[in-house]
Structure 1
Amino acid sequence: MASAAMDFSTSTDTPAAKPPNRFWTFAEGRAMFELGAFYASRPMLSTLPKGDGHSVLVMPGFMASNSSTVPMRNLLSDLGYDAHGWDSGRNVRINEELIDRLETQISRVFRDSGRPVSLIGWSLGGVLAREMAKMHPDKTRLVISLGSPITDDRNHTNAARLFHFFNGDEPDRLRGGQFQGLDIAPPVPTTSILTKTDGVVHWRGSVQCPKKTSSDHPTENIQVYASHCGLGVNPSVMIAMADRLAQEEGEWMPFEASPSYSWMFPKLSIDE
């Protein structure tokens, strides 16, 4: 079995934060091919491990809305999950109103289903998913982030200026200091899916370090071949995501790709 585990064995220094190479930014248009691959492989994706019916809440990326996550949510529904988009419109401002709406929605879904909710977030949506899981770990089953800048240093993304335009130097950080220490994982199993050809968030900004979490609340990094804008439809992401969600509650294990899919998941090394 090919493991997607991360190799920290020879890493001693953390490189200075920087945005992705411009080549990958200009190449983000390849997401259209990933969307085509998603629909071409849809019959195969429908055969992925089925879910147990628990609720999954999907949060879109910065400047995006629920429409961007429709393909993913439709697949999750077909696999047997109770898939939800968020109730918060376009993901632009991080303020108290947004946090209130997310807390209300998560609490409602949790109450209606009677079970913890899995949170999936794309880019900035993944940051929100992690922070909501920190605030409500009792209502959260697991977290999956897709190309998310899980660091307090905004220099990892080339969307920093646009984010600053809408949110200022310091977004509303009510809730007693929430949204600080973004690199600290929530106290639930947490998966970061990332790509080294991300043209929006430098891949290093999406890496979870095991030193930042408890052994009781495991984290993992899964590398795929994808663009940033294609992460929400890339077939390899769907395969990894379905595998993570299909685990029995309380029986989380690190991701291992099956032999037929192992080529999609290169081992992640940070010594590059």
Structure 2
Amino acid sequence: MATRFFNLGEGTRAELARRWELAREPCPEDVRGPRLLLLLNELTWVAEPVKRMFREHRVATARTPRSVMLLPGFGAHPIRMRYMARQLEKAGHTVKRWGMGYNLGATAERFFKVEERLLDLFARRGEPIVLVGWSLGGVIARELAKRHPDKVAKVITMGSPFSGSPRANNGWRAYQAIAGHRVDEPEFEAEPAVKPPVETVALWSPLDGVVNPRSACGWPGERDRAVPVRCSHMGFVYSKDSIDRVLGELEAV
């Protein structure tokens, strides 16, 4: 392994070293992520497909079907939101992916691509789109709504760290190492705490082991409403409570 590392080009080694330094940056003393016990509880998501075999999630038919785009969290692929998508579709909503693969950070290229995706969906559907963003996906959804409020019907964030310090979570070091930039320095202009000019609802959980609940809940003026759910951070995309809340918010558009 060491030999392979030294065979890397000088530029590659320098970039790896830079990202390592980003991951080693100190955290402000007054900023804390969720407790370690809650973080360890996040590992239970691996058993979810088995648990799902022994329960039924009944979904009521939507009175007014909506067009929805799902935005995955950092490090997640859209397939992680497939179960949620199926439940929303079962209710009669039209659900679309964000048009890319893994979400590996708030880069300019990624933001502009999902922005093009929103514009394309709006043109094809002929109606404003509801944006449902998980974690970092929700932060991106808020910025999209600020730029295109006429094309977004509503923003629903799930465990998204839009309020307070972007380091108030247990994933910011991994983010900086993988994305290649500081978590509070995205590659596009953004003010996460500023509320979009459309209805914005924040789902948050006291059991979240990744993002500080206060960061995901926000303060009055940073969102229209904050809705508590009881699930882990990973559970936002598969727990019955979370999905039922999203379905309810779609009915309330």
Instruction: Give the corresponding residue for 2:216.
Output: 206
2:236 partner SS: coil
| SS of residue paired to 2:73 | coil
* Alignment-derived partner of residue 44 in structure 2: 30
> Following superposition of structure 1 onto structure 2, how do residues 191-230 of structure 1 map, counting pairs within 5 Å?
191-212=201-222, 219-230=224-235
Alpha-carbon contact 2:128-2:152 (below 8 Å) kept: yes
Q: What is the letter of the counterpart of residue 27 of structure 1?
A: N
Shift in Å at residue 58 of structure 1?
0.1
Query: How far 1:67 sits from its partner (Å)?
Result: 0.7
The separation in 1 between residues aligned to 2:52 and 2:77, in whole angstroms, is: 19
In structure 2, give the amino acid aligned to 1:172.
Answer: E
Q: Displacement of 1:16 after TM fit?
A: 4.1
Q: Tell me, which stretches of 5 or more residues in structure 1 are unaligned?
A: 1-14, 214-218, 250-272
- Residue 189 in 1 paired to residue 199 in 2? yes
Q: Is the 8 A contact 1:201 1:228 kept in 2?
A: yes
The structure-2 alpha-carbon separation of the partners of 1:33 and 1:196, relative to structure 1 and needing over 3 Å to count, comes to: farther
TM-fit CA distance, 1:77? 1.1
Residue in 1 aligned with 2:5? none
What one-letter code is carried by the residue in structure 2 that aligns with 1:196?
Answer: P
Counterpart check, 1:66 vs 2:95? no
Render the CA deviation track for 1:124-143: whole Å, top value 9, x for unaligned.
Answer: 11111111111111000001
Distance verdict in 2 for CA 1:37–1:16, change over 3 Å: farther
TM-score under structure 1 normalisation? 0.76
In 2, are the aligned partners of 1:115 and 1:139 still within 8 Å (CA)? yes
> Per the alignment, in what secondary structure is the counterpart of residue 230 of structure 1?
helix
Indicate the SS of the match to 1:210: coil
Q: Tell me whether 1:126 sits opposite 2:138 in the alignment.
A: yes
1:167 equivalenced with 2:180 (yes/no): yes
Rounded Cα–Cα distance in structure 2 between residues aligned with 1:188 and 1:105: 19
In the superposition, relative to structure 1, how do residues 37 and 140 fare at CA in structure 2: closer, same or farther (>3 Å)?
farther
Instruction: Tell me how far 1:179 sits from its aligned partner.
Output: 1.6
For normalisation by structure 2, the TM-score amounts to: 0.81
Q: Which runs of 5+ in 2 are unaligned?
A: 1-28
Matches within 5 A, 1:223-238: 223-238=228-243
Q: Distance in 2 between matches of 1:42 and 1:52?
A: 23
Q: Deviations over 1:108-147 (max 9, x none)?
A: 1111111100000111111111111111110000011111
Q: Could you tell me which residue of structure 1 aligns to residue 168 of structure 2?
A: 156
Q: Which amino acid aligns with 1:206?
A: A
Q: Report the structure number with the largest CA radius of gyration.
A: 2
The amino acid across from 2:186 in the alignment is P
Aligned to 1:18: 32
Give the Å deviation of 1:152. Answer: 5.4
Q: Is the 8 A contact 2:193 2:222 kept in 1?
A: yes
Q: CA RMSD in A?
A: 2.0
Q: Relative contact order (C-alpha < 8 Å, sep 6+): which is higher?
A: 1
For 1:248-263, what aligned pairs fall within 5 Å after superposition? 249=253
Give me the identity figure in percent.
27
Counterpart for residue 76 of structure 1: 88
